[in-house]
Structure 1
Amino acid sequence: MEKGNSDTSLPVALIVGVTGMVGLSLAEALKKPTEFSLSPEGKFPWKVYGVARRPLPTWFPPSLLDHFISLDVLDQTDTIQKLTPISNQVTHVFWVALQIREAEEANITVNSTMLANVLDVLKSASPSRLRHVSLQTGTKHYMGPIFDPQLADQLVHHEPPFEEHLPRLPYPNFYYALEDLVASYSPSISYSVHRSSIIIGASSRSFYNCLLTLSVYATICRHKGLPFKYPGSKYTWEHFCDMTDARVLAEQHIWAAVTDTAKNQAFNCSNGDVFTWKSLWKVLCEVFDVEFVDFDENESFDWAEMKDKGKVWDEIVKKYGLFKTKMEDITCFDATNMVLHLKLQHVCSMNKSREFGFSGFADTFKSIRMWVGRLRDMKIIP
Structure 2
Amino acid sequence: MKKKAVVVGALGVIGRYIVEKLVAEGDWQVVGLSRRPAKDGPRYRHIPVDLLDLEDVADKLGKLRDVTHIFYAAFQPGTGNAANYAAVIAPNRDMLVHSVSAIAKASRSLQRVVLVTGTKYYGTHLGPLKTPMRETDPRHMPPDFYFDQIDWLTAFQRGKKWSWTELRPQTLCGFAPGTAMSILPAIAVYAAISKELGLPLRFPGKPGAYGTIYQVTESSHFASAALWAATEKRTANQAYNITNGDYFRWRNVWPRIADVFGMKVGDVQTISLTQHMADKADLWTAMTKKYGLKKFDFDQLVAWPFADYVFGSDWDVMSDVTKSRLHGFQEVVDSEVMFERLLTRFRKERIVP
TM-score (norm 2): 0.91
Structure 2 matches for 1:38-187, cutoff 5 A?
45-56=27-38, 63=41, 65-85=43-63, 87-102=64-79, 103-125=84-106, 127-143=107-123, 146=125, 155=126, 158-186=129-157, 187=159
Q: Displacement of 1:207 after TM fit?
A: 4.0
Equivalent-residue separation in structure 2 for 1:317 and 1:13 (angstroms): 37
Picking from 210, 215, 219, the partner of 2:192 is: 219
Which of the residues 234, 254, 271 maps onto 1:301? 271
Deviations 1:304-323 (A, max 9, x none): 22222111111122334434
Decide whether aligned partners of structure 1 residues 232 and 368 sit closer, same or farther in structure 2, where only a CA change above 3 A counts. same
Specify the code of the residue in structure 2 equivalent to 1:91.
T
Q: Distance in 1 between matches of 2:7 and 2:347?
A: 25
One of 9, 20, 26 as aligned partner of 1:28: 20
Shift of residue 157, structure 1, vs aligned partner: 5.2
Return the match for 1:343 from 301, 305, 314.
314
Q: Structure 2 stretches of 5 or more lacking a match?
A: none
The separation in 2 between residues aligned to 1:64 and 1:367, in whole angstroms, is: 29
User: In 2, Cα distance between the equivalents of 1:220 and 1:180?
Assistant: 43
Deviations for 1:309-365, whole angstroms, at most 9, x for unmatched residues?
Answer: 111111122334434322223212222112212231111111111111111210112
- Count of residues in Structure 1 that have an aligned counterpart in Structure 2: 346
Q: CA deviation at 1:138?
A: 0.8
**Rounded Cα–Cα distance in structure 2 between residues aligned with 1:232 and 1:356:** 36
Q: Say if 1:138 and 1:194, in contact at 8 Å, map to a contact too.
A: yes
Give the Cα separation in 2 of the matches to 1:373 and 1:97: 28
Q: How far, CA to CA, are the matches of 1:159 and 1:26 in structure 2? A: 30
TM-score, normalised relative to structure 1 = 0.85
Shift in Å at residue 377 of structure 1? 5.5
Which runs of at least 4 in structure 1 moved beyond 6 Å after TM superposition? none
Match of 1:152 in 2: none
Aligned-pair CA distance for 1:301: 2.7
Structure 1: give runs of 5+ residues left out of the alignment: 1-8, 34-43, 147-154
Cα–Cα, structure 1 residues 378 and 76, in superposed 2: closer, same or farther, change >3 Å?
Answer: farther
Q: For residue 243 of structure 1, report the CA deviation from its aligned partner.
A: 0.7
Equivalent-residue separation in structure 1 for 2:173 and 2:185 (angstroms): 8
The two structures, once aligned, show a CA RMSD in angstroms of 2.0
The 1-side partners of 2:105 and 2:148 are apart by: 22
Percent same amino acid among aligned pairs?
29
